[in-house]
Every structure is written in structure tokens, then in C-alpha cells.
Amino acid sequence: MRSFSVAVGLSFSWALPALAEDPSFNTGSLECEAIRELKALVEKQQSILAQNNAYAVNLTDLLAAGYLPAECPDGSRVRVSGSNVVGGCHFTYGLVSVVNSPQTGDFSFEAVALGVKGTPSEGLELYINRLVSRHHDFIEAYMFNKGVYSDVDLNGCSQAG
């Protein structure tokens, strides 16, 4: 049954790009901030997978491995409560789910950046799904901006320099 659900999920995710066009973002935009920080999370998870044959299963492990979203230019961060999210400048970041099955060669995780209520990022949600298995190597990124869905190109925002 599990392989059926994975196949259905992948089939649906491949169909999603037809639902919305990939918007262009200004590299200094809030959208690009979320994209850059989640892309860094994906890269850190890939490094952890290569070293440990498993993704980090919680944010504490990711922070210990060196992942920390950028703070605001004034040194401030979004305040968070709990150990399942970390604050960046305008977003909170966290892991939604992690699956490590070294016996079958299936590894996946979903990460999220959520805009903070009462700030300019309110209503922005960015999700990344990463699947690595013997049969698939897949990444999907999408955003909701005040409820409006769009696909996201993780390479669409260069690092601020």
C-alpha cells in the first residue's frame, strides 16, 4: 500500500506545475528570503544524509549541524516558542515531516517557512518536499501567498551579497 501512495503522491506533484506559473521574485524580496533559507536547509539535510545515511529528524539536530537562518540586518530574529521551529528575519522555519528508511533506501522530508502574523511576511508560506530513493530523486517547492498557490524555482533567487 505504501508504494501505491508514494506513486500517487509523485504523480500528483508532477501535475502541480500545470496549475500555476512560476512567478519571478526580486532577489531582495521576502519570497527570496524564504527561498534562500529553505534552500540552505535542504543543502544541510543533504549533507547530513550523506554523512549519516539518514536525514536529521528534528530541528535541534539541524541546528547542531550548523543550520541557522539569517537574522535581520539589525541582528534581530522572529521570536519563536518551542523547539520545532527557528526564527529567521521575517519567517519561522521548521520540519513538517521526515522519513528515514535505510533498509529500503527511501528518505524524504518536508520543510516549511511561514510568514509571521502582523509583519510584511504574513500570509506567505513556502514548502519544500525532498525525496531520495533507489528509484527517485525529486524536489518540489511551492508557495502560498495569501492563499494563492505558485510553484517555486529554488534557483530563482541568488544569494544576497
User: Where exactly are the structural domains of the chain?
Assistant: 30-151
Rounded to the nearest 5°, which phi and psi values hold at 52?
-115, 0
Q: Are strands 85-87 and 91-101 parallel, antiparallel or unpaired?
A: antiparallel
Residue bearing the bigger pLDDT, 81 or 28: 81
Residue bearing the bigger pLDDT, 99 or 4: 99
Task: Write down the pLDDT at residue 63.
Answer: 94
Specify whether the backbone of 138 is left (phi greater than 0), alpha (psi in -120 to 50) or beta.
Answer: beta
Query: Amino acid identity of 16?
Result: L
CA dist 121 and 31 (Å) reads 8
Is residue 89 helix, strand or coil?
A: coil
88-132: pLDDT as tens digits: 999 999 999 999 999 999 999 999 999 998 889 999 999 999 999
Do 97 and 110 meet the contact criterion of CB atoms below 8 Å apart?
yes
50-75: pLDDT as tens digits: 999 999 999 999 999 999 999 999 99
Task: Write down the pLDDT at residue 109.
Answer: 96
Q: Provide the grid cell at 90.
A: 521575517
**Beta-strand runs (E) in the chain:** 85-87, 91-101, 106-115, 124-132, 137-145, 148-151
Q: Provide the grid cell at 136.
A: 527517485
Contacts of 149 (CB under 8 A, 6+ apart): 19, 20, 142, 143
